[in-house]
Structure formats: structure tokens, C-alpha cells
Amino acid sequence: MDAFIEQAGLGRILAKVREGERLSLDDGEQLYQHPNILALGALADIVRERKNGNQAFFIYNQHINYSNVCTNLCKFCAFGREKGHPLAYEMSVDDVKDKVRQRLDEPISEIHMVGGIHPDLPFSYYLDLLRGIKEVRPDVHIQAFTCVEIHHLAQLANKPVDQTLDDLIEAGLGSLPGGGAEVFSPRIRQLTCERKLPGEGWLKVAKLAHRKGLRTNATMLYGHIETYRERLEHLDALRRTQDETGGFLAFIPLAFHPKNTAMAEHTNTTGINDLKNIAVSRLMLDNFPHIKAYWVMIGPKLAQVALAFGADDMDGTVKEEVITHMAGAETEQALGHRTLIRLIQEAGRQPIQRDTLYNILATF
Ligand code: V47
């Protein structure tokens, strides 16, 4: 495989990867611009295998989006709605408890719960959501509220982020998902989500969470107006944060879905662009244990292929995904765990059913 990578002109970067040397942003540019996707994938696969051997992970999870009411109204988002809009919704704590109750017969180990930046729900609502879920399903791990939401909740609570996290942890919060990161570049934020918490703010919340022992994920929304350099700077900011705290578990590149958004003139990402982002993130994020191929956004078939391009995780059963489907995703709303197992096995990896913190629950 090394000869193939060298013949493709990636010998210098291969030597760095073999030595475990950190790749520079210029290396990253070369990778993004490289025309040979197979050589790029082979390079990323070296790192994937070093970190995760033959294992590929999935989780039995449930997504709940408690409300789409949002004051940020990001241009790339088809989910958020202004309060009072006919399609705006908010779930009561009982609605959320019902959603959890409806699936008590399934071996769900994680509830992934996020929502918009709601203008007037009180802090107590969010604590009650966590407590309510734990009442119905005491053993479930709640991965909830992006760094953007946590910042908002701290304002609602009128407390520092640190203390807000303490309250949320006491109510049942287990970890934070990686959403809301988008692209940290101030240029991109100005053009696509000017009201959203800036990149430094997102990273600051992640660091505070890590210092409390909360693990978190990180994402990057790619395939719209960002440059390769801006993607790489985003990855570098995450890499530097991870050097400081070690608190990130997984990185998830999110493929932009333009339908029904204020950026609907853009086209969907292509398979090559999706695979490149998986591979380049695996290579740049040398200190992240896991790279997720989120099947909801790139489709189960490409997510399966991504397992040979640097990814070691396919996310999970999900069920009732709303954010991407509002933006035109044509994937299913849920995958059965048998399908996930088959996708992973046919990719030549050992399927591992994990919990949120990557403890092994079952092997197949
Ligand atoms: O925060 C919004 C992004 C995120 C669109 O942590 C869009 O394990 C594509 O963060 N096209 C939500 N993306 C999803 C997310 C996530 C998903 C799965 C696993 C994890 C994890 C996190 O989706 C939002 C935003 O960044 N998003 N609109 C869109 N039109």
C-alpha cells in the first residue's frame, strides 16, 4: 500500500504519517487538492487502523429535538423557526418523556437531544427535560445540548457556564454532542450564522465541559461557501483544543444539505467531497480517537465505504432525525441495528455496539 501512496505523489506525507508526525495546514491543503481519492483513503486508513484496529462502532440511540424555535435562524438551517411560525413547535417535558417511553422495549443506551435557541423557555425546563428522561429511563446516557445551547442556558440560568454545567450534570446530563460548530471562521459565521455564538465561544464551552470531565464531540458543516483553508483552520482549532484537554471523543464532518434553507442555490455535496472530508479529518485530527461517518447525511452506503477512508464509527440507529430531513435528506429516518452490523461486516470490520463513551456493549 505504501508504494501505491508514494506513486500517487503522497510519499512525503506518508513518511510523516508513518512517523506519527503532525500534519501542517499546507499538508492538509495538498490532501484536499489531491486528485487520487484512493491514495488519500489509504493514507487515512493507516491512522484509522493504528487507532482502532479492525473495530468499527455503532450505538443504539434515539434522537429527540425538543423544539425548533430558534433566534439564530442560520442561513444553512432548514430546521429552525421563529416563534409563532406555523411550523414552529416545542415539546413539553411530558411529550419528551412519552417519546422515551414509547421505545422502552428497545436496548437504547443513548438519547441525543438538541434544539434551537428558544427565546423564552426557562432554565428549569431544560433541567426538567433531563430529569424527566432519567425518570423514564434511568440507565440511559443523555448526550444533549450543543456548546451553543449550553452558552444560552448559562445566560438563562444567570450563572457562569461552569456552574450551569454542574446543574445540568446533576439533573442527568452525560455528555455534549458536537453540533453548532459549523465552520469557526469569522468570515463564514458572518455570512451564514451571524447571530450564533462565535467559534471561540464554542471552543470555550467545550474546554469548560472537558475540565468538568464531560466528554464532547465536534463537527464541521462543509460543502457550502467555505474554503479548504477555512476547513483546515477549523480542524486545527479542534486539534489544539484537544491537545489542551483531551476531552473530545469523536469528530463528525456534516455534509451540507441545501434544500429548504436560505442557501438553497447550493448543490448537495458529492461522494468524493464526503470521502475527502472523512480522510482529511482522520489525518489532521491525530489526537481524536474517533471519526464518525454519519449515515443520515451521507447515506448508509457511502458511510459504509467511508470505513475504508478513515472512519471507524457509523453513529447509530438514530430514529426520527429531523434536522437533516428538513433540509431534504433522502436517507431513512432510522437504521435497524442489524443493518448497521451488516454494513460494517461487509466492509470487513468487526461491528462493535458501543455506549456513548465507547465502552463495548456487544461484539458481532
Ligand atoms: O448543529 C444544520 C448541522 C447539526 C444543516 O455529536 C446541518 O455525535 C447539514 O451536530 N445540512 C446537528 N447539516 C447534527 C449534529 C450531530 C449529528 C450526529 C451526531 C452528532 C454527534 C452530532 O447539523 C447542527 C448543524 O451544525 N446542520 N443544518 C444542513 N442544512
Residue 72 domain flag: yes
The answer to whether residue 26 sits within a structural domain is no
Rounded CA-CA distance 13/294 in Å is: 27
Pocket lining: 80 vs ligand 1, CB cutoff 6 Å: no
Our answer on whether the CB atom of 179 is closer than 6 Å to any ligand 1 atom is yes
Number of domains in the chain: 1
pLDDT at 321: 87
Considering the entire predicted model, what is its pTM? 0.98
The Å distance, Cα 4 to ligand 1 centre, comes to 35
Question: From the CA of 252, how far away is ligand 1's center (Å)?
Answer: 9
The mean pLDDT value for 97-124 works out to 97
Quote the CA–CA distance of 218 and 277 in Å, as a whole number.
14
- Cα(271) to ligand 1 centroid in Å equals 18
Q: Say if 47 falls within a structural domain.
A: no
- Rounded CA separation 93/169 (Å): 18
Tell me the pLDDT of the chain averaged across its residues.
Answer: 97
184 lines ligand 1 (CB under 6 A): no
pLDDT confidence tier of residue 170, bands split at 50, 70 and 90:
very high
Classify residue 43: in a domain, yes or no.
no
Residue where the block lists cell 423514564? 136
Length of the chain: 364
CATH code: domain of residue 243:
3.20.20.70
Q: Is 233 in the pocket of ligand 1 (CB under 6 A)?
A: no
For residue 28, being part of any structural domain is answered with: no
Convert the pLDDT of each residue in 15-72 to its tens digit. Answer: 999 999 999 999 999 999 999 999 999 999 999 999 999 999 999 999 999 999 999 9
Residues spanned by the domain of 353: 53-363
pLDDT of residue 335: 85
Confidence category of residue 191, pLDDT binned at 50, 70, 90: very high
Q: What distance in Å separates the CA atoms of residue 326 and residue 321, rounded to the nearest whole number?
A: 9
Whether residue 260 has pLDDT greater than 90: yes
Listed residue (120, 122, 117) closest to 80, CA to CA: 117
Ligand 1 atom at minimal distance to the Cα of residue 297: 9
Name the residue of 77, 143, 254 to mutate for ligand 1: max ligand atoms within 8 A of Cβ.
254
- Pocket flag, ligand 1, residue 144 (CB < 6 Å): no
In a domain, 260, yes or no: yes
**pLDDT digits 0-9 by tens, 327-337:** 988 888 788 88
Check residue 332 and give its pLDDT: 83
115 domain-assigned: yes
Could you tell me if residue 296 is inside a domain?
yes
Q: Which residue's CA is the closest to the ligand 1 atom numbered 28?
A: 77
